[in-house]
Chains A and B, each alone.
Chain A
Amino acid sequence: DIQMTQSPSSVSASVGDRVTITCRASQALTSWLAWYQQKPGKAPRLLIYAVSRLESGVPSRFSGSGSGTDFTLTISNLQPEDFATYYCQQANSFPYTFGQGTKLEMK
């Protein structure tokens, strides 16, 4: 199975900050890397797919990049509604696997 390791596990930031979350895969991926946002008691929401493609309706302050085994999610100009938990997910091979999550908290 491909292991997905996110860092940090949690991060504190303020409104207006820029935050970067990293996801490292245990083996190289092609383009099947996605990012999801989850708020307490809610289902995950797709933010980015194919490494850097922004899902429709997702604000442009979210961006994704990376290749091989290292990928990043960047949130610029943090807004109050961005405080949530973020997960990366690979679909390069079965079983699909998720990172352990990064909790973004308000400082």
Chain B
Amino acid sequence: QVQLVQSGAEVKKPGASVKVSCKASGYTFNNFFVHWVRQAPGQGLEWMGWINPNSGGTNYAQKFQGRVTMARDTSISTAYMELSGLRSDDTAVYYCAREMEQWLVLHYWGQGTLVTVSS
């Protein structure tokens, strides 16, 4: 069965960077885009961007351009999301999600990674 397992919670200071991993299993990693979505405490969902694991190509939401880097390591079926210049309003749960075949929807989700930014 398809699984996306994310790395554990992080606490970071303002200005630092955080790197969250998302390990995929149960399917051919290269064949499906991986998206990143975040959710601030008590708030809604915010799409950050996607990575094409096959080519390494990325597409970031304008809001995060210059601060976010999405990468992958196909040898271990893992996607990464790194966010730099952290601010207190970056405190959120970060989710990775896999697209559905042929449809632009987020089909399978990781369990989420809480990133807390605090001095």
- CB within 8 Å of B: which residues of A? 32, 34, 36, 38, 43-46, 49-50, 55, 87, 89, 91, 94-101
Q: What interface size band does chain B fall in?
A: 20 to 34
Q: How far is the CA of A100 from the CA of B37 in the complex (A)?
A: 14
Within 8 A of A (CB), among B60-87: 61-63
> Are A98 and B107 closer than 8 Å at their CB atoms?
no
Residues of A within 8 A of B11 (CB): none
CA distance A94 to B106 in the complex (A): 14
A43→B47 CA distance, assembly (Å)? 14
B50, chain A: closest CB distance, angstroms: 9
Given A98-B44, A98-B47, A99-B44: A91 and B112 interface contact (C-beta under 8 Å): no
Interface of B, helix, strand, loop or mixed by DSSP? strand
Known contacts A95-B62, A95-B63; is-contact A34 B105 (Cβ 8 Å): yes
Q: Are B44 and A91 in contact (CB under 8 A)?
A: no
Q: Which of A45, A46, A89 contacts B45 (CB 8 A)?
A: A89
Which B residues are in CB contact (< 8 Å) with A91?
Answer: 104-105
What 1/0 flags go to B43-60 for Cβ under 8 Å of A? 011110100000000010
Interface residues of B in 79-106 (CB under 8 A from A): 95, 97, 100, 103-106
Interface of A is mostly: loop
Contact B109–A43 (Cβ < 8 Å): yes
Contacts of A100 in B (CB 8 A): 44
B17 contacts chain A at the CB level, 8 A cutoff: no
In the complex with contacts A89-B45, A97-B47, A50-B95 CB distance below 8 A: no
